Amino acid sequence: MYIQPVELHSFITYLVCSRCGERYEHTRVQSVCTKCGGTLFARYDLEGVKASVSRNSLKGRPPTMWRYREVLPVLHDEHIVSLGEGYTPLYPLRRLGEPLGVSLLVKDDGAMPTGSFKARGQSTAISKARELGVKRVALASAGNAGGAMATYAARAGLEAYVFMPRDAPSVAKLECHVMGAHVYLVDGLINHAAAIVQRLRERYGWFDLSTLKEPYRVEGKKTMGYEVAEQLGWRLPDVIVYPTGGGTGLVGMWKAFGELEELGWIGSGRPRIVAVQAEGCAPVVEAFRKGAEGVEEFPDAHTVASGIRVPKPYAGEQILRVLRESGGTAVSVSDSEILECVREFACEGLFVCPEGAATLAGLKRLLDSGWVDRGEVVLLYNTGTGLKYLDALGEPTLPTIPKNADLLPAA
């Protein structure tokens, strides 16, 4: 006998402005609050979710982020644009952790389609855009978001426009180009690229998918929080160290923990959230140190960790709120520490991106200052694979030997 599988569905109810509380419908295309410009966040009928799903019932679901179907915003399954993203590995790093005296874990989004966690946000945003009839999408990107958008747009059959800094990683440029996006290099930084999208989007009929300019990328990114909780048996680590650029990852994870508590799947305990930035671009660290409410533009932003080269994150206030509510902190590290930590991760068989490496560098600083105690459970979030960073990491100098070599040159 064939049993019709029960179709899972979204429990999304409405969107709400994070600043003024105005509500918006999720059944129409929305960007930011039309009253105050605040970011819109999706709300769900979590009581309904609680009544229909249990933690245990997730066990048989496919190992992708879409296993959290009920708390994702897409109404109809046929609109889901998926390449099998999410449910990436989470495992201990004993060799790196033991000398540091902490119980060290990594969540590895280097294993994502398009090589970075940006696929999470683009999978939900492109799915929802397609569901609402959007045909043409655009965004400003430091590299990986553009690659992910171009990829998911290609899969969905949408036209994509990507604006990235001229010196963005060449692999990301290539990725967008191969995926058939219209790619423009901007003689400036990501905020200049964002201003171009803002200025031209009406004229060219684009829907702006830039960070937090639409409500659904953060929904995909919140699955990082769901996965961390589920993979750790519904307990959370003491500390999560996250490389922070635009901040959607951090804001998304925090939203996830709030929803999970409402669902009764976790308790009220939270990890202390640490934002790691590069010394050459540390606007959040500066604002946190000053006790400011908002984030000011960081002058002359530069770092090898291009994904966190965001001189003025649009979600500055929200990032600071997460750091403070969680009892967390913000720390900056140098590019040479970052590159050194790329090498250190290799002892665990991991080729992390510079942003991911920055988390280890940040943790070392926090151990030195005593902010992290020996014996704590610390999760480093690796946001992407090192394989996308050929420019930053450089081609190694290696010995070349003749075809018929019978002796190796001295090392």
Choose among 368, 345, 369, 366: nearest CA to 357. Answer: 345
Can you give the binding site for ligand PLP, defined by CB under 6 A?
116, 118, 144-145, 211, 243-249, 307-308, 353, 355, 383-384
Cβ-proximal residues to 323 (8 Å cutoff; 6+ apart), any chain? 273, 274, 275, 284, 288, 329, 330
Cβ-proximal residues to 228 (8 Å cutoff; 6+ apart), any chain? 90, 107, 236, 237, 240, 253, 379
Choose among 167, 82, 88, 184: nearest CA to 125. Answer: 82
Cβ-proximal residues to 180 (8 Å cutoff; 6+ apart), any chain? 150, 154, 160
Is the backbone of residue 212 left (phi > 0), alpha (psi -120 to 50) or beta?
left
The residue count for binding Zn ion (CB under 5 A) is: 8
Which residue lies nearest ligand PLP, judged by its C-beta? 307
- Taking the complex as a whole, the smallest distance from the CB of residue 17 to Zn ion amounts, in Å, to 3
- Taking the complex as a whole, the smallest distance from the CB of residue 91 to ligand PLP amounts, in Å, to 19
- Taking the complex as a whole, the smallest distance from the CB of residue 136 to ligand PLP amounts, in Å, to 23
- Taking the complex as a whole, the smallest distance from the CB of residue 14 to Zn ion amounts, in Å, to 13
Nearer to ligand PLP, 73 or 143 (CB): 143
3-state secondary structure 234-301: CCCCCEEEEECCCCHHHHHHHHHHHHHHHCCCCCCCCCEEEEEEECCECHHHHHHHHCCCCCCCCCCC
Site string for Zn ion, 36-65 (x = CB under 5 A): x-x---------------------------
Q: Select the binding partner of residue 19 from Zn ion, ligand PLP, none (C-beta < 5 to 8 A, by kind).
A: Zn ion
Nearer to ligand PLP, 215 or 307 (CB): 307
- Taking the complex as a whole, the smallest distance from the CB of residue 321 to Zn ion amounts, in Å, to 16
- Taking the complex as a whole, the smallest distance from the CB of residue 116 to ligand PLP amounts, in Å, to 5
Strand pairing report for 12-17 and 40-44: antiparallel
Nearer to Zn ion, 41 or 66 (CB): 41
Instruction: State the number of CA atoms in the 13 A half-sphere of 318 facing the CB.
Output: 25
Q: Which residue do the tokens 């659904």 mark?
A: 216
Site string for Zn ion, 70-109 (x = CB under 5 A): ----------------------------------------
Choose among 206, 218, 284: nearest CA to 254. Answer: 218
Nearer to Zn ion, 80 or 218 (CB): 218
- Taking the complex as a whole, the smallest distance from the CB of residue 258 to ligand PLP amounts, in Å, to 17
Check: CB of residue 361 under 8 Å from CB of residue 100.
Answer: no
User: Per CB under 5 A, does 405 bind Zn ion?
Assistant: no
Site string for Zn ion, 1-40 (x = CB under 5 A): ----------------x-xx-x----------x-xx-x--
**Residues of the shown chain interacting with Zn ion in the complex, contacts defined by CB under 5 A:** 17, 19-20, 22, 33, 35-36, 38
